[in-house]
């Protein structure tokens, strides 16, 4: 079994809990309060700025040109692709640029991004790639799950959010990260796998905390 699937098996219960979270269910059912989504969008915008920095570190840590190009492309995809979804909603909700600039990251947000940056700076390319994967992969699976809810894709407000995470471009980007991890860990030791498993479980828990704070703080 490839490393990515072994890691997935280790967090399956955590990821399944995302689908039942009231924030995620609210997006799929189209009844999530706008104030909660607004809080989430601002926090996620802040998060993505640091998330892109981890990909940038991937360029520095890579020794193969093709991998460097891949990480470079991912930085561009986040800053000029995924964040465009956020910019669309910010305009739709009426979030002004100054509001984002003056917003403070939640403690959960700070803790999550600090953990990823620490793992990526102190560890090797396997550690770095693993720290990125939970966010990328789980959002794709959440998008797929929500897209099966009747009428979710046609929802005039949340439909575009779901479509963004099941798009062919996002699927391709997610697959690149998964394939890279499997390539890097082809001959991984048990000790190293256990370290990656720890990182993957921790980031998966942080993902749940992110949904939680968005639902509870955006009141």
Residues marked as catalytic? 135, 207
Q: What is the DSSP letter of 9?
A: H
C-alpha to C-alpha distance for 165 and 174, rounded to whole angstroms: 10
Distant-in-sequence, close-in-space partners of 61: CB < 8 Å, separation ≥ 6: 120, 124, 125, 128
Non-local (6+) Cβ contacts of 154 within 8 A are none
- Torsion angle, CA of 19/201/177/128, rounded to 10 degrees? 140
- SS3 labels along 138-175: HHHHHHHHHHCCCCCCCCCCCHHHHHHHCCHHHHHHHH
E strand or H helix at 79: none
């Amino acid at each position: 079994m490839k490393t990515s699937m072994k890691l997935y098996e280790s967090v399956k219960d955590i990821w399944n809990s995302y689908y039942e979270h009231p924030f995620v269910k609210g997006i799929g059912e189209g009844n999530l309060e706008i104030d909660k989504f607004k809080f989430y969008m601002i926090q996620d915008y802040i998060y993505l700025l640091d998330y892109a920095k981890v990909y940038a570190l991937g360029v520095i840590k890579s020794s193969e040109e093709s991998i460097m190009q891949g990480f470079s492309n991912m930085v561009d995809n986040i800053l000029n692709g995924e964040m465009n979804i956020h910019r669309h909603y910010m305009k739709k909700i009426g979030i002004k640029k100054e509001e984002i600039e003056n917003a403070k990251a939640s403690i959960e947000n700070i803790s999550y991004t600090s953990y990823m940056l620490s793992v990526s700076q102190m560890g090797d390319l396997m550690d770095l790639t693993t720290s990125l994967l939970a966010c990328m992969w789980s959002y794709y699976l959440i998008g797929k799950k929500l897209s099966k809810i009747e009428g979710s894709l046609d929802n005039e407000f949340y439909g575009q959010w779901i479509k963004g995470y099941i798009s062919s471009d996002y699927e391709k980007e997610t697959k690149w990260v998964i394939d890279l991890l499997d390539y890097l860990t082809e001959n991984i030791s048990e000790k190293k796998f256990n370290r990656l498993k720890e990182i993957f479980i921790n980031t998966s828990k942080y993902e749940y905390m992110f949904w939680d704070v968005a639902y509870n703080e955006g009141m």
